[in-house]
Amino acid sequence: MSAGEEPPASGPARGKTPRRPRPTGLRKRSLHLDSRGRARMVDVGGKAATRRRAVARGRVRMGRAAFDALAAGRLSKGDALAVARLAGILAAKKTPEIVPLAHPIGLESIAVECRLEAKSREVVVTATVSTSARTGVEMEALTAVAGACLALYDMAKSLDRAIEIREIVLLEKTGGRSGPYRRG
């Protein structure tokens, strides 16, 4: 072993899970880690159900030919905007199957909008999700946007393999103990 190298780490004792260092963050204790640093789903059983709403946005940028075909409704796979809206709704419903620590919650409303911006050749996808529950719907809104954006890529990829999915962000959320959030 040369200078500056650390000795190899010894493995955990048979049948024991190695202890991991706790990640540093904004809280002293991460809600998604147990006392041994292992991932777990947060217990929301003691929280009151409140009205929750989240809005997320993403952008899909494409070349001129693909954007023009999309805008004119001439893509070979059909109505891409309708497919994207449905894909976003389905993605929101499937969030706990995609995001391992997301709680399965009853969603009361999911709206996915796709707005064409000709100057930038972008489709701006916005998802609004709401419920009355013990946990928020930010992940459902973000997952809805991601699903819709992926569907748009799939629908137009035969005309443009360089399509970019960009800037998937949470715009706002309301409800819950942490209070409202609005992107600056």
Q: Choose the catalytic residue: 34, 68, 154, 160.
A: 154
Q: How far apart are CA 143 and CA 125, in angstroms?
A: 12
Q: Nearest-CA neighbor of 183 among 130, 136, 140, 138?
A: 138
- Sign (positive/negative) of CA torsion 131, 132, 138, 139? negative
Alpha helix ranges (H) inside 58-166: 64-72, 80-93, 95-98, 138-156
The question of whether 154 is a catalytic residue gets the answer: yes
Interacting residues of 30 by C-beta distance below 8 A, sequence separation 6+: 22, 23
Q: Give the per-residue SS3 of 62-83.
A: CCHHHHHHHHHCCCCCCCHHHH
Active site residues: 154
